[in-house]
Amino acid sequence: GIGAIDYKLVDPYVVPDAMEQFFKEEIFRLPDCFLCPSIPEELDYTYGTNYRFRSGVLFGSVNRFNKITNSIIRSWSEILNAVPDSQMLLKGRGGDNGEVGQRILKQFNAQGIKAERLIFQDRSNLGDYLKVLSEVDIVLDTFPFTGGVTTTDALWLGTPVLGRIGRDTLVSYQGESILRNANMEDWIAKNEDDYIKKAISVASDSEQLSALRRGEETRSIKKSPLFDINRFAKNFECALLEMWDRRASKDFG
């Protein structure tokens, strides 16, 4: 941390009490999520319009490739091996042409996943990125370096995201915080085994997946605290006022 910065804005999930000792800044907790994404109005029409049911499940990840560790590839491979006709879309800088993409491809191959079950895509403009993301059945979050904006983008589009509880660092708790504030606690795995089990379970139940993608449960995500801009603005305003009151009390107390 930087001593010149007085406060670190967090929420009840992203920095547990036991982690406060590692921050130079004073921890200030907002009541809901520490972030609030805002989708431009011209892109709002993409919500729920591109998804089409298919015979096989399409898992996806649009996080940076350097977040994809050996442990994640082993977990994803176990999921793919357990779900017949499933594929994995990996969208990131360079696609499979770069050094990192080739490394990921080889690691999947070593776990028995053939290249035809992997769909590599390079980065694209925002509209095409959102279109692709809305076509994915289930986003599999990375860990311990979880997604942030990519997770909120997926949820806005009605694409469910499977994550894990945090561990040790703010960025590992980030995904958990986003999912909790989106009222998606059932999509937070307790550990790696639970992550694999949950992914296989939801992917193997086509009726459940269909209901999730088309039902009110998914549409309600946009009304959750995660996307409530007015609520976030009020929370942020109250936080600033309280911070100023504390400062004034120190100056004149």
Q: Which residue has the higher pLDDT, 105 or 127?
A: 105
Q: Which of 20-24, 88-92, 116-120, 247-251 has the lowest mean pLDDT?
A: 247-251
Q: What is the pLDDT of residues 74-126, one digit of tens each?
A: 999 999 999 999 999 999 988 878 788 889 999 999 999 999 999 999 999 88
Beta strand pairing status for 161-164 and 118-121?
A: unpaired
DSSP-H helix ranges across the chain: 70-82, 99-110, 126-135, 149-156, 170-181, 192-204, 206-214, 216-219, 229-252
**Which of helix, strand or coil describes residue 191?**
coil
Q: What is the pLDDT of residues 176-229, one digit of tens each?
A: 999 999 999 999 999 999 999 999 999 988 777 777 776 666 678 888 999 999
Q: Please, what is the Cα angle at 189 between 186 and 194, to 5 degrees?
A: 115
> Whole-model pTM?
0.90
How far apart CA 82 and CA 214 sit, in angstroms, is 25
